[in-house]
Amino acid sequence: MKKILLLSLLTITILSSSLRADEGMWLPLFIERLNYADMQKLGLKLTPEEIYSVNHSSLKDAIVQFGGGCTGEIISDQGLLLTNHHCGLGQIQEHSSIEHDYLTNGFWAMNKDEELANPGLSVSFLVRMEDVTALIADSLFADSSETYRMKTIQRISSRLQKAAEEGNHYKVQVKPFFGGNEFYLFVYEVFTDVRLVGAPPWGIGKYGADTDNWMWPRHKGDFSLFRVYSGPDGKPADYSKDNIPLKPKHFLPVSTGGIKEGDFAMTIGFPGRTTRYMTSKGVEQLLNENLPAVIDVRTKKLDIYRASMDVSDDVRIKYASKQARTSNYWKYAIGQVKQLKQNKIIERKLALENDISEWIANDETRKQQYGKALDNIKEGYEILSVFNVANQYFMEAIYQGSEILAFAYRMNDLAKIARGNVKPDLIPRTKERLKSTIEKYFADYDLETDKKVFAAMMELYNANVPIGLQPDEFIRINKKYKGNYEKFADKLFDKSNLAHLETSLAMLDKPKSILKDPAFELMDAFFSQYIGRQASTNEGYSLIEVGDREFIDALRKMDPEKKYYPDANFTMRVSYGQVKDYYPCDAVHYDYYTTMDGVMEKEKPGDWEFDVPAKLKELYENKSYGSYATEDGEMMVNFITTNDITGGNSGSPVIDGEGNLVGLAFDGNWEAMSGDVSFEKELQRTICVDIRFVLFVIHKYAGAKHLIEEMTLVN
C-alpha cells in the first residue's frame, strides 16, 4: 500500500511539474537557476549564456521593444526587423492615402532608398538587467508609511539610474516586482531611426480582423518588416540620409525546416501587463465594473467607426489604426468576462486565499506580519467601488472617447502659457511642439465621425454615471439641451476652434483663446472633477498596494519550493513550451496548425475581413509555394504553442531549441482569455505565424526576394 501511495505521489509531482513548465514569464537573468533543466527536457540545445549574456552576443541582443508596446526581432546583419502587422499598423496607416493605399495593397521597398521613415518610432535593445533589491530594501522599514516608502524608492531609484547613465547614451529604468518586494534595474540602448520596409496587404496581414481576433483556428499573416538605422558610428541617431543600417550584436537565423507537434518553442519579448497575483476582490471589480464599461463604450464607438469607414475610403484609411486599437481591447474584454466566469477564477482565487489565511493564522509572527493583508485589499476595493464606475466611464467615454476632448486635453500646455505658467524662454519651443501635435492630429481626423462619437459618449456617460459624480458643467449642459446630445454636439463643434486645423493653429498666436473654447472648458470640467476624486481613490489604491505586497510575500513564503515569476510589466521575459494541439470543449479538437486551405475556406469576396487578394488566390490555385511548403505540399499559415504570453509580446519571436526563428507570436486563444489573471494550464495557447508563410509572402507574393537573400536561412 505504501509503495502504491508513494508511486501516486511521485506521479502527481511529475505531472504538476510538467503542467507548470509552460506557465511563466521569466526574467532571463535567472534562467540558469530557475528554468534551464526544464527547458532542456523540452528540447532546448542552447546554453543559458547563449540566451542572455552581458559580455557576449546572445539571443537577447536580437530582441527589441518595438514602439513601447510590442516586440520585434532582428533577422539580418543589416538591421532588418520583423514584428507583427498590427504592431506596425500605425506606421503603415500614416504612410497610406487614397493614392497610395498601403493598408489595402501592402508596401514593399525594393531597395533601401525606398524605405519609409517613421518620426516618433523607436526600438529599445536591452543591454543588461540587475537585481537592486538589496540596495533599495535596506532603506525601507516595515513600520514606515507608504508615503515614506514611495519617496525612498524614488530617491534611490533616481540615484541608481543616474549612476548607470553616466558617461554613456543608455536609458535606464528601475522597476518594482512581486508587488514591490523586489526591484530590478534595466539598461537600454534606444534607436530612433526605424524605417518601414514591407507590409502585406490587408487581406493577409489583417485577415479575419475582428471576427477571428483572439480565436483559433487562425489564418493570418500578421507580420511587417522594418529596418533599424544607426549613425555612422553605430550609435543611435535621429533620422538622417547619412545613417547606416544597424550592425546588430546578434540576429536570428531563420529556419525553413518547419515545426511539428511536440517541438520546443521559446519566446523572448516584452509582455505588458498581467495580474496573476490579483485577489478575488480585484476579479469581482473587473467583472462587475471595469470590463462592462469597456464593452459598453467601445461597442458604440466601433459601430460609428465602421459605419463611417464603410462609406468613405478617406475615413477608412484615417481610422484603420484607431478602429483596430479600439476593437482589440473591446473583444478582449468580452472574452475575459466570459472566461473569468467559465474558468471559475473567483472560486480559484478564494480557495488560494483560504489556504493563505489558514497558513497565516497558524503562526503568531505570520499573523503580525501578514494578518491584515486581505482585509486591507478588501477595504481598498470598497473605497474604489464608490467612484470606480464613474472613473471607468471617464476614461473610456471622455478621455479616450471623443477625439476632440482628448485633443483638448493635449492642448493643456497652451492653457499653461495663457495662465502664465510657462517660462518665457520655453514658450517658443512649447508652441512648436503644439504645432506638430495639431498637424499630426488633423492628418487622421474626420469631424463628422467624431461628432457622432461625441454625442454617443455624452449619452453613455450620463446614463451610467450617478449625477452626484458628474461635473457641474455637464449637469448644466444636460439641463440646457434636455438630453439632445446631437444638438449639443452640433453647437460645440460649431463653436470650438479645436474642431478645425486652421483655427487650432491660429490659437497658438492667441493662447488665451483656449481658456474660452467650449471643448477645452468641457474637458477641463471633466478632468478637474476626476482629479478631485483622487485623494479618496488614492487611499484605496494605497491599501490595495500594501495588501498585495504582503499577500504576495506570504504566498511565496508559504510554498518556498515553488518557482515564482513576477507579473508582466513591459520588461524582457522568456517563456518556453511546446508546439501543441488542444481540446477546447467536449468533443472538439483543435489541431496545432492551419494551412492555405483554411484561408480559402473562409474567403468572402468583397468583405473587409475575409477578402483574399487575387494574387494570393492565384498562388494557392497553382500551389506556387516554392520551397516554403511542407513535404506534403501544404502551405502552413499559423500554429499554436503552450507558451505564456500577453499584450506586449505581440511580435515576439518563436525560437526553436537551436536558437532559430520558426514563427512570430501574435495572439492568445479565446478559451484562455482569463489567462492574464490566472494561467490556464490545459487551455492556454499562443497563436503564431509560421515563418515559412512569412517567407512565402515576401518572396512569392511580393517579389521581394532581396529581403530573403539578406537573411540567414537554415533547414
Active site residues: 86, 222, 650
For residues 665 and 267, the answer to whether their CB atoms sit within 8 Å is yes
- Residue 330's H or E segment, with its range, is helix 313-342
Cα–Cα distance measured from residue 337 to residue 674, given in angstroms and rounded to the nearest whole number: 8
Sign of CA dihedral 264, 267, 272, 277: positive
Q: What is the distance between the alpha carbons of residues 246 and 262, in angstroms, rounded to a whole number?
A: 36
Long-range own/partner contacts, residues 229-234 (CB < 8 A, 24 or more apart)? 229/79, 229/191, 229/193, 229/194, 229/195, 230/79, 230/191, 230/193
Q: How many CB atoms lie within 10 A of CB 34?
A: 16
- Phi, psi torsion values for 196, nearest 5 degrees: -75, 130
Kindly give the pairing relationship between strand 80-83 and strand 107-108: unpaired
552's grid cell: 504576495
Q: Are 640 and 219 in contact (CB under 8 A)?
A: no
In this structure, what C-alpha cell is assigned to residue 468? 452626484
Cα-atom radius of gyration of the chain, to the nearest Å? 26
Provide CB contacts within 8 A for 257, sequence distance 6+.
660, 662, 714, 715
C-beta atoms surrounding 504 within 10 Å: 24
Strands (E), 231-384: 244-245, 254-255, 264-269
Contacts (Cβ under 8 Å, ≥6 apart) of 190: 122, 123, 124, 125, 171, 236
Distance CA 492, CA 517 (A): 9
Gap between the Cα atoms of 299 and 330, Å rounded = 7
- Cα separation of 280 and 350, whole Å? 6
Nearest to 200 by CA among 326, 57, 86, 293: 86
CA angle 188, 24, 46 (to 5 degrees): 70
The DSSP code sequence of 357-375 is: HHHHHT-HHHHHHHTTHHH
HEC string of 24-77 equals CCECHHHHHHHCHHHHHHHCCCCCHHHHCCCCCCCHHHHEEEECCCEEEEECCC
CA distance 654 to 496: 50
Three-state DSSP class for 234? coil
Bridge-based pairing of strands 713-714 and 254-255 is parallel
Q: 507: phi > 0 → left, psi -120 to 50 → alpha, else beta; which?
A: alpha
Report the C-alpha gap between 320 and 330 in whole angstroms: 15
Between CA 253 and CA 561, with CA 265 as vertex, the angle to 5 degrees is 130
Class of residue 505 by CB neighbours under 10 A (exposed 0-12, middle 13-18, buried 19+)? middle
Q: CA-CA distances (angstroms) from residue 57 to 49, 52, 62?
A: 9, 8, 9
